Chains A and B, each alone.
Chain A
Amino acid sequence: MKTLVTSLKIPARLLFFILPVFMFGSCNQQVSVTPPDLPPPNGFIYIASYPEGFHIYLDGKARRRATPDSLTWLKTGTYQVTLKKEYFRDTTFTVSVVEGKKETAFVDYSKNPTMLGSINCTSNPSQAQISINDSTTNMLTPKIIGPILPGIYRLKYHMDKHRDVIDTVIVTSGNVTNSAVTLVDTTIWQNYTTDNSGILSDNLTCVLVDKNNVLWIGTDKAGFLSYNGAVWKQYTEANSSMPDNHVNCLAMDASGLLFVGTNRGFVTFDGFNMHMYGFRTSGLPDFYVHAITFDNNDNWYIATQGGLTEAYASSEHGYWFTWDTETIPDKWITSLLFDNKGMLWAGMKNYGIARRGLYNSWEIFNYNNTRMVNNNVTALAQGPDGNVWIGFDQTALAGSGITYVNNSSWNNVYPIPQQSKTNVILVDRMNTKWVGTNQGLVSFTNAADAVTYSYSNTGLYITDITGLAIDGKGYIWIATNGQGLIRHKMGY
């Protein structure tokens, strides 16, 4: 070593510098290295709006975000942001994102008229006060409210002596939403439903008012009810001798004894005791009792699907007689009437009218010999002028007629809706005819001036009328199938 160093004559000081360089360089290696992982992109958009709650879409795809919120971990680039919310038009805009920077977007929908809508408020009668979402305003109908933000609005209309009406409407961007209501004049109309009163069913089949102004109401599935103006009572299979909870008809004799016809016979009720008359257990020819009436001698007449039966008062109603089809061609009797001349009218389901004269002789009237509307009789009534009014089932036809009989003259008038079924007719002391149909209530003195009662002129949904009765206070009571009981002050 000495020789090497001395022979090469390399100065020791030079070695001192060369060797570390050599040492450093000698360990170099060629190593393949995977490039380091890049951090995730950190572009950021904060998106807010007024109102809030818009769903955020990025480049057409819904994100799990609603304003105000942010979209994170975005790459540098330009993005298409869409905001969507029910009832609003979609809004799309672009945002340029740079990684490491926070972008902000704010959309104020209240400043964009094309995003707003309005409400056209009208009422019958007009000048009703308008409240919006339980906040009272000074606005009166008719009024266009807006422009306002789209959404669901709860409008309340208020007027003295009228029932408040609440109307919920949906306002959408760029559209006018109509809110047209009719306020019920509570001095004329009052309704009783399971929602606003103690009535126990909205599906009523008939109504009767006794001499004490107590209402008796038949129901579809809840037996029958009484209402004295304060208290509702219910009589059903469960708490009485009622054989069935479906009531077809109600009648009351001169003594005040109530008769309730059902699908399983009928009962009598004197206010305390109930007596049941069933098929086979009495002289009834069928389960189904559709009408009951009485003559001046207190004989009972019961219309069933199996024929017309008379229960004689002289035998304390223990003797029953049913007319055969040679006398009354249809077993299915739908309606009964004793007219002011003492003649008994029996409406038949398919054969017109059977009428018993004063000498117990029967006459048959039908389309062929009278040109009455058709042979499917459903209702009978007599007015103070002696005219007998007849209603029909026209649901399968295009007719709108009812028939009246003036002495021996048969005439048709056409005041009721097309293809309607007349369920009940009532003629008041002023000779106003009230016709309850499955499509609503019609009243007229002259058929040409008939008035149809509907939501637009009453504020009430008067549809399937099943019963009519007049009390001693000047009210007409209207039983409906589905809308409960309605009271109307006569003369308005």
Chain B
Amino acid sequence: MKKVGILFFIVTAALLNYSCENTLNPNAPFRERYVLTGIMRSDTSLQVVTLTRSYRPADGFNPLTNTQDPAVIGAEVNIWYKDTLYELRDTTLVRQDTSHYKDSVHCYYVNNLRPEEDQYVDIEALLPNGLLLQSTTKLPDVRPYSFFSTGNDLVIPPVGKDFVMVRWDTLSNTIFSPRINIIYYVKGSTEMKKWPVPLYYITNNDKTTPVYPGQTKINFVNLSMETITRALNEISQTVSDKSQISISEMDVELVVYDVSLSTYYLSIQGGLDAFTVKLDVPDYSDIQGGYGIFGSYVRTVYKMKFTNDYLKSLGYQ
């Protein structure tokens, strides 16, 4: 009987030891999540929305092992704008970049909606499984004749200054993406061409690099005449005969993001101050019931003319 008791004790201890072993899995339990992405634009009547689902990579780690687009097909996607319902239709597009997904791009679109400034756009996506994704965006209020400052320079070069400054109104919780372009034509062609103008050039180890504006909360651009002159001279390097180029104007093209997109860019870019925490892209969402981003932007342009004397001094006619 004693032997039996000892044997029982040993077996039990062994079982006890074995039973506490557990396999360590670094992956959390997989749960399917849904992502809605759509940017409403005021400069086109074609609005596109994508719906995708999260997925577990085939090998558990590398997302590139999944080559099938995780799009959600068969959802009912509706947009409301000014009390009108716009029913988005689903379609497929030929994928240009097949480095990851190999099949077609699935998306939802509407081609008769051109939202205006200062207007709300609501979206709902009812997925085939009954999940509802919702969001709202309000387009920034950018009225072209009041948005840019009335005292901005109209001609280049400005009188008595060696720089050009273009200001615009600040909008709360909104960031801007300015792009400066010189508009020109090559004689014999009616195609309008754009030459991007940097904010400035930096020189490092005798190598000069242009620095273009990015997303910013700053409500002005300041360009030195030296930068503008350099950009103008670069245009002429694209042709053998400078007289073939007709310089039209310089535009400050301003993309103004709505609050959602502004918050998104500020969250993922960080760098506003030493205390800002930079988020990963998937961590930001303004979609109720899912993930993703539904935002909007408007585009507006401020135009400035060059003086004939200035263009002639650079060899342009």
Please tell me if the beta carbons of B132 and A40 are within 8 angstroms of each other in the complex.
yes
Whether B16 contacts A42 by the Cβ 8 Å rule is no
- Say whether A5 faces chain B, with CB atoms less than 8 Å apart: yes
CA distance A154 to B10 in the complex (A): 99
If the complex has contacts A1-B9, A12-B8, A62-B85, are A26 and B131 also in contact, measured as CB distance less than 8 A?
no
User: In the complex the two chains form, is A19's CB within 8 Å of B16's CB?
Assistant: yes
With A23-B16, A61-B85 as known contacts, state yes or no: A15 contacts B76, CB within 8 Å. no
Q: Determine which of A16, A37, A64 lies in contact with B78 in the assembled complex, contact meaning CB atoms within 8 Å.
A: A64
Interface presence of A2 (CB below 8 A): yes
B19, A5: Cβ atoms closer than 8 Å: no
Q: A29–B2 Cα gap in the complex (Å)?
A: 35
List the A side residues contacting B225 at CB < 8 Å.
Answer: none
Contact A40 B129 (CB under 8 A): yes
Closest residue to A60 on the B side, CB-wise?
A: B83
Contacts of B20 in A (CB 8 A): 26-27
Q: Is the CB of A5 within 8 A of B85?
A: no
For the complex formed, measure the closest distance between the CB of A333 and the CB atoms of chain B, giving whole angstroms.
53
| Complex partner residue of A61 from B5, B6, B12, B80, CB under 8 angstroms | B80
On chain B, the number of residues with a Cβ less than 8 Å from chain A's Cβ atoms is 30
A72 within 8 A of B: yes
- Contact at A5–B5, with CB atoms within 8 Å? yes
Across-interface contacts of B15 in A (CB, < 8 A): 23
Task: Say yes or no: is B161 at the interface (Cβ < 8 Å to chain A).
Answer: no
Shortest Cβ gap from B89 to chain A (Å): 11
* Interface set, chain B 1-31, CB cutoff 8 A to A: 1-2, 4-6, 8-10, 12, 15-16, 19-20, 22, 28-29, 31
Indicate if B87 sits at the interface (CB-CB under 8 A).
yes
- A161 proximal to B (CB < 8 A): no
Residues of chain B within 8 A (CB-CB) of A16 are 8
B126 at interface, CB cutoff 8 A? yes
**How far is it, in angstroms, between the C-alpha of A268 and the C-alpha of B33 when the chains are bound?**
88
The proximity string for A residues 15-42 relative to B, scoring 1 for CB distances below 8 Å and 0 otherwise, is 1100110110011010000100101111
Closest residue on chain B to residue A6 by CB atoms: B2
Within 8 A of B (CB), among A39-73: 39-42, 61-64, 72-73
Residues of A contacting B85 with CB < 8 Å? 61-64
Choose among B9, B12, B16, B31 the residue that contacts A5 (Cβ–Cβ < 8 A). B9
Q: Report whether B130 and A22 are in contact in the complex, using a CB–CB cutoff of 8 Å.
A: no
Would you list which residues of chain A between 221 and 247 have a CB under 8 Å from chain B?
A: none
CB-contacts of A416-460 with B (<8 A): none
Partner of A26, one of B16, B29, B129, B132: B16
Query: How many angstroms from the CA of A16 to the CA of B7 in the assembled complex?
Result: 11
A23 touches B130 (CB 8 A): no
| B28-63 near A? 1/0 per residue, CB < 8 Å | 110100000000000000000000000000000000
**Is B5's CB under 8 angstroms from A15's CB?**
yes
A39 contacts across to B, CB distance below 8 A: 130
Q: Which residues from chain B contact A72 at a C-beta distance below 8 Å?
A: 130
Bound together, the chains give a CA A26 to CA B15 distance in angstroms of 12
Contact with B along A377-398 (1 / 0, CB 8 A): 0000000000000000000000
Residue on A nearest B289 in the bound complex, by CB: A40
Shortest distance between the CB of B19 and any CB in chain A (Å): 6
B22 contact set on A, CB distance < 8 A: 27, 29
Provide the residues of chain B in CB contact with A27, threshold 8 Å: 19-20, 22
Contacts of A42 in B (CB 8 A): 130
Interface string of B125-137 (1 = CB under 8 A from A): 0100111100000
- If A23-B15, A27-B19, A62-B85 touch, whether A2 touches B132 (CB-CB below 8 Å) is no
Q: Report Cα–Cα, A6/B12, bound state, in Å.
A: 18
- Contact B76 A64, beta carbon cutoff 8 Å: yes
**Complex Cα distance A3/B236, Å?**
101
Docked-complex contact A40 and B130, CB < 8 angstroms: yes
B28 — which chain A residues lie within 8 A by C-beta? 34
Among A5, A20, A62, find the residue whose CB has the most chain B CB atoms closer than 10 A. Answer: A62
CA distance A492 to B135 in the complex (A): 73
CA separation between A34 and B122, bound complex, in Å? 30
A21 to chain B, nearest CB (A): 11
Task: Give the shortest distance, in Å, between A179 (CB) and chain B (any CB).
Answer: 33
Of chain B, the residue at the smallest CB distance from A64 is B87
Contact indicator B16/A22 (Cβ below 8 Å): yes
Residue from B4, B5, B6, B83 with most neighbouring chain A CB atoms (10 Å)? B5
Question: Which residue from A19, A41, A63 sits with its C-beta under 8 Å from B12?
Answer: A19
Task: Please give the distance in Å from B211's CB to the nearest CB on chain A.
Answer: 44
A92 to chain B, nearest CB (A): 15
- Of the candidates B2, B9, B20, B131, the one having the most CB atoms from chain A within 10 angstroms of its own CB is B9
Interchain nearest-CB distance for B244 vs A (Å): 51
Within 8 A of A (CB), among B115-163: 122, 126, 129-132
A489 to B78 alpha-carbon distance, docked (Å): 64
A20 and B19 alpha carbons, distance in the complex (Å): 11
Chain B residues near A34: list those with CB within 8 A: 28-29, 31
Chain A, residue nearest B31 (CB): A37
- B83 to nearest A CB, angstroms? 8
CB distance from B261 to the nearest CB of A (A): 24
Decide if A73 touches B8 in the complex (CB within 8 Å).
no
The CB with the most chain A CB atoms within 10 A, among B12, B15, B29, B76, is that of B12
Distance in Å from the Cβ of B230 to the closest Cβ of chain A? 54
Question: With the chains together, A6 CA to B126 CA distance in Å?
Answer: 71
Interfacial chain B residues near A37, Cβ < 8 Å? 31
Instruction: Render B222-260 as a binary contact track against A, CB cut-off 8 A, 1 for contact.
Output: 000000000000000000000000000000000000000
Kindly state the separation between the CA atoms of A41 and B127 in the bound complex, as whole angstroms.
12
- Residues in A with CB closer than 8 Å to B80 are 61-62
**Residues of chain B in range 76-118 having any CB-CB distance to chain A below 8 Å:** 76, 78, 80, 83-85, 87
Interface pair B2/A2, CB less than 8 Å apart: yes
Partner of B130, one of A20, A62, A73: A73
Question: How far is B2's CA from A73's CA once the two chains are assembled, in angstroms?
Answer: 67
User: In the complex the two chains form, what is the Cα distance from A131 to B78 in whole Å?
Assistant: 43
- With the chains together, A39 CA to B87 CA distance in Å? 26
Interface centre among A19, A39, A72 (most CB of B within 10 A): A19
* Contact B12–A23 (Cβ < 8 Å): yes
What is the CA–CA distance of A73 and B128 in the complex, to the nearest angstrom?
10
22 contacts between A and B (CB under 8 A): A1-B6, A2-B2, A5-B6, A12-B4, A12-B5, A15-B5, A20-B12, A27-B19, A29-B22, A34-B31, A39-B130, A40-B129, A40-B130, A40-B132, A42-B130, A61-B122, A64-B76, A64-B78, A64-B85, A72-B130, A73-B130, A73-B131
Name A's B-contacting residues (CB within 8 A).
1-2, 5-6, 12, 15-16, 19-20, 22-23, 26-27, 29, 34, 37, 39-42, 61-64, 72-73
Q: Which residues of B contact A (CB under 8 A)?
A: 1-2, 4-6, 8-10, 12, 15-16, 19-20, 22, 28-29, 31, 76, 78, 80, 83-85, 87, 122, 126, 129-132
A5-B2, A40-B130 known, 12 other contacts, Cβ within 8 Å? A5-B9, A12-B1, A15-B9, A15-B12, A19-B16, A23-B15, A26-B19, A27-B22, A34-B28, A40-B131, A64-B76, A64-B87
Closest 7 A/B residue pairs (Cβ) = A40-B130, A12-B5, A62-B85, A73-B130, A19-B12, A23-B16, A27-B20
